[in-house]
């Protein structure tokens, strides 16, 4: 992936028709539950280092993974933990990726004002008083690129690693076309 680092993958799955969160926490004490802050429970894993939000509607949201396999392993571990205490859950739920965040470093300082004016794209927003980066909303892959003067680029909102990588590569091409790279 040519210098592209996967920072975070957010995915969800429906593993039940619904949960009574308080009953879950009673049966599985290592679930974190603070209803004043969040109405669901949280399950933190060390290997892989992820967190899973457990919602009362039966959905779970996994975050913190840097590989799709880590999402699958994390949700599998949650399902096993629940089954071990007699909670009925879907054994092989469909896992849907919601957001993949990747980054790269161009190893070059960027003049964001010049880039903003040169690209002349309707989807470019650069207001340094409000945010230190240039924001580019990519229609092509339905993702958002954040470009910083340090040369770092972050892609968020992509649904696949391929789309996120494609978004960064497309921006590199645009930057090359205006003589920045």
**What mean pLDDT is reported for the chain?**
95
Coil, helix or strand at residue 59:
strand
Architecture of domain 9-98: 2-Layer Sandwich (3.30)
N residues, the chain: 181
Nearest to 7 by CA among 133, 141, 161: 161
Q: What is the pLDDT of residues 107-127, one digit of tens each?
A: 999 999 999 999 877 899 999
CATH of domain 106-177: 3.30.310.10
* Every domain of the chain and the residues it spans: 9-98, 106-177
pTM of the predicted protein model: 0.91
The per-residue pLDDT for 2 is 73
Q: What pLDDT sits at residue 176? A: 96
């Amino acid at each position: 992936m040519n210098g592209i680092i996967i920072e975070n993958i957010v995915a969800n799955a429906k593993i039940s028709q619904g949960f009574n969160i308080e009953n879950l926490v009673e049966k599985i004490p290592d679930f974190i539950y603070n209803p004043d802050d969040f109405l669901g429970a949280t399950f933190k894993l060390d290997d892989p280092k992820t967190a899973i939000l457990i919602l009362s509607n039966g959905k779970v949201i996994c975050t913190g993974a840097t590989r799709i396999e880590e999402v699958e392993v994390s949700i599998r571990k949650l399902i096993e933990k629940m089954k071990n205490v007699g909670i009925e859950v879907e054994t092989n739920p469909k896992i849907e990726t919601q957001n993949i965040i990747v980054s790269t470093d161009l190893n070059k300082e960027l003049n964001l004002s010049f880039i903003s004016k040169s690209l002349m794209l309707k989807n470019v927003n650069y207001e340094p008083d409000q945010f230190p980066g240039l924001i580019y909303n990519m229609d092509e892959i339905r993702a958002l690129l954040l470009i910083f003067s340090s040369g770092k680029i972050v892609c968020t909102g992509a649904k696949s690693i391929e789309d996120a990588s494609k978004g960064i590569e497309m921006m590199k091409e645009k930057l090359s076309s205006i003589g920045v790279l």
